[in-house]
Amino acid sequence: MSHKILELQSVDAGYNGKTVIRGADLEVFTDDFIGVIGPNGGGKTTLLKVILGVIKPLKGKVIYHNLSDGKQGKRIGYLPQFNMVDSKFPISALEVVLSGLMPRHGLFRKYRREDTAAARSMMEKMGIAHLENKVIGELSGGQMQRVFLGRALISSPRLLVLDEPNTFVDNQFEGELYELLRRLNQEMAIMLATHDLGTITPYVKTIACVNREVHYHRSNVITEKQLSAYHCPIQLITHGDVPHTVLKKHQK
Amino acid sequence: MTDLLQYDFFVHAIWAALFTSITCGVIGTYIVSNRIVFLSGGITHSSFGGIGLGYFLGINPLLGAAGFSVLSALGIEYFSRKGELRHDSVIGIWWSFGMALGIIFIYITPGYAPNLMTYLFGSILTVSSVDLGYMGVLSAVVVLFFILFYRIILYISFDEAYARVFGMPVALMKNVMISLVALTIVVNIKVVGIILLISLLTIPQSIANQFTRIFSRMIIYSTAIALIGVVSGLLISYALEIPSGASIIFALVVLFVLTKAVVVARRKELLPGSRQD
Among A79, A105, A107, A161, the strongest candidate for a mutation testing the B interface, having the largest count of B CBs within 10 A, is: A107
Work out whether the CA dihedral B157, B163, B164, B165 comes out positive or negative: positive
Q: How confident is the model at residue A83 (pLDDT cuts 50, 70, 90)?
A: low
Q: Which of B165, B213, B214 sits opposite A54 (nearest CB)?
A: B165
pLDDT for res A67:
73
Which chain A residues contact residue B169 at CB under 8 A? Answer: 107
Q: Residue A137 gets which letter from DSSP? A: G
Residue A199 has pLDDT above 50, yes or no: yes
Q: Which of B155, B161, B213 sits opposite A102 (nearest CB)?
A: B155
Domain spans of chain A?
1-67+158-252, 90-157
- Lateral strand order in the sheet of A189-194: A76-79, A159-163, A189-194, A33-37, A206-211, A213-217
pLDDT for res A242:
40
Work out whether the CA dihedral A192, A100, B74, B206 comes out positive or negative: negative
Residues 6+ apart with CB under 8 A from A75: A67, A68, A69, A155, A156, A157, A158, A159
Task: Specify the CATH architecture of the domain B4-193.
Answer: Orthogonal Bundle (1.10)
A58 has which bridge partners?
none
If you average pLDDT over residues A118-131, what whole number do you get?
93
pLDDT for res A216:
85
Alpha-carbon distances, residue A119 vs A148, A191, B164 (angstroms)? 12, 23, 21
High-pLDDT (> 70) share of chain A, %? 81
In terms of Cβ atoms closer than 10 Å to its own Cβ (0-12, 13-18, 19+), residue B186 is: buried
Q: Are B251 and B233 in contact (CB under 8 A)?
A: yes
Query: Chain B: nearest CA to A139, how far in angstroms?
Result: 14
pLDDT tens per residue across all 277 residues of chain B: 677 778 888 899 999 999 999 999 999 999 999 999 999 999 999 999 999 999 999 999 999 999 999 999 998 888 877 777 788 888 999 999 999 999 999 999 988 777 788 899 988 988 999 999 999 999 999 999 999 999 999 999 999 989 988 888 999 999 999 999 999 999 999 999 999 999 999 999 999 999 999 999 999 999 999 999 999 999 999 999 999 999 999 999 999 999 999 999 888 876 555 444 4
Which chain A residues contact residue B163 at CB under 8 A? Answer: 102
Query: Are B166 and A103 a contacting pair at CB < 8 A?
Result: yes
Q: Are A213 and A22 in contact (CB under 8 A)?
A: yes
Query: Chain B: nearest CA to A136, how far in angstroms?
Result: 10
pTM: 0.88
Query: Chain B: nearest CA to A89, how far in angstroms?
Result: 6
In terms of Cβ atoms closer than 10 Å to its own Cβ (0-12, 13-18, 19+), residue A241 is: exposed
pLDDT for res A245:
43
pLDDT for res A120:
95
Return the CATH fold of A1-67+158-252. Answer: Rossmann fold (3.40.50)
Residues of B within an 8 Å Cβ radius of A: 33, 35, 148-149, 151-152, 154-155, 157-159, 161-169, 209, 212-215, 218
Query: Chain B: nearest CA to A172, how far in angstroms?
Result: 26
Query: Are A90 and B163 a contacting pair at CB < 8 A?
Result: no
Query: Are A95 and B154 a contacting pair at CB < 8 A?
Result: yes
Between chain A and chain B, how many beta carbons pairs sit less than 8 Å apart?
64
Q: Residue A84 gets which letter from DSSP? A: -
Q: Rounded distance, CA A39 to CA A212, Å? A: 10
Query: Chain A: nearest CA to B144, how far in angstroms?
Result: 13
First-to-last C-alpha distance (Å) of chain B: 44
Q: Rounded distance, CA A11 to CA B57, Å? A: 57
If you average pLDDT over residues A212-219, what whole number do you get?
82
What is this model's ipTM?
0.86
Q: Rounded distance, CA A220 to CA A35, Å? A: 8
Q: Are B92 and B206 in contact (CB under 8 A)?
A: no
